[in-house]
A and B are shown apart, each in its own frame.
Chain A
Amino acid sequence: MKVLVIEDELALLQDIKKYLEGESIVVETASDFRQAIFKISDFDYDCIVVDINLPSGSGFDIVYELKTQKAKAGIIIISARNSLDDKLKGLNIGADDYLVKPFNLSELNARINSINRRRFLDGNNMTTFHEICIDHTAQTVRINDKQVILTHKEFDLLVYFITNKNKVLSQLAIVEHLWADEIEWVDSYAFIYTHIRNLRKKIQDSGCPNYLKSIYGIGYKWEDH
Chain B
Amino acid sequence: MGRSLNLLSITNRYYLISLSLFFIFAGVLLFYAISYNMNEELDEQLYAEQIHVENAIKSMDHINATPLSLLDNIIVKKTSFAVNIKPEIFDSLMYDDVEKEMIPFRLIRFSAQTTNANYVIVIKESKIETSDLVISIFFSLMLVFGLFCLILYVANSYLNRKIWSPFLETISAIKTLNINNRDVSFKYQTSHIEEFNELNFSLQKMIERIESDYLHMKEFSENAAHELQTPLSIIRSKLESLLQSKNLNNEDAQLIDQALESTVRLSRLNQSLLLLTKIENRQYEQKQEVSFSSVFDKYIEFYNENILENGIEIQLNKYEDFVFEINSTLADLLISNLLSNAIKHNIQDGEVVINIEKGRFEIFNTGEEPTCSTELFFNRFKKGNHLPEHLGLGLALVKEIVETSGLQITYIYENDRHLIMVNKN
Contact = CB atoms under 8 A, between A and B. Distances in A.
Contacts of A104: 236, 240
Nearest to A81: B226
- Scoring B227, B234, B341 by chain A CB atoms within 10 A of each residue's CB, the highest score goes to B234
Interface stretch (A62-70, A136-144, A184-192): A184-192
A186 B271 CA distance: 13
A103 B309 contact: no
B interface majority secondary structure: helix
Contacts of B267: 102
B241 A19 contact: yes
A170 B260 contact: yes
A170 B390 contact: no
A172 B260 contact: yes
Nearest to B344: A184
Interface in B217-256: 226-227, 229-230, 232-238, 240-241, 243-244, 250, 253-254, 256
Contacts of A83: 278
Interface residues on A, range: 35 or more
A106 B260 CA distance: 13
Given A15-B238, A182-B336, A187-B390, 14 more contacts: A9-B234, A12-B237, A22-B244, A82-B229, A105-B240, A106-B240, A168-B244, A168-B253, A170-B240, A172-B257, A176-B264, A184-B336, A191-B309, A217-B254
A87 B264 CA distance: 20
A151 B289 CA distance: 35
Contacts of B241: 15, 18-19, 105
Contacts of A187: 387, 389-390
Interface of A: 9, 11-12, 15-16, 18-19, 22, 80-84, 100-106, 153, 167-168, 170, 172-173, 176, 182-188, 190-191, 194, 215-219
Which 6 residue pairs across A and B have the least CB separation, nearest first? Answer: A102-B233, A187-B389, A80-B229, A15-B237, A101-B233, A191-B309
Which range holds the interface residue count of chain B? Answer: 35 or more
Interface in B312-356: 329, 336-337, 340-341, 344
Contacts of A12: 230, 233-234, 237
Nearest to A19: B241
Given A12-B233, A80-B230, A217 B257 contact: yes
Contacts of B278: 83
Given A15-B240, A15-B241, A172-B260, A102 B340 contact: no
B278 to A, nearest CB: 8
A170 B387 CA distance: 20
Contacts of A217: 250, 253-254, 257
B265 A11 contact: no
B329 A84 contact: yes
Contacts of B226: 80-81
B243 A170 contact: yes
B174 interface: no
A103 B233 CA distance: 6
Nearest to B339: A184
Nearest to A104: B240
B253 A173 contact: no
A101 B274 CA distance: 14
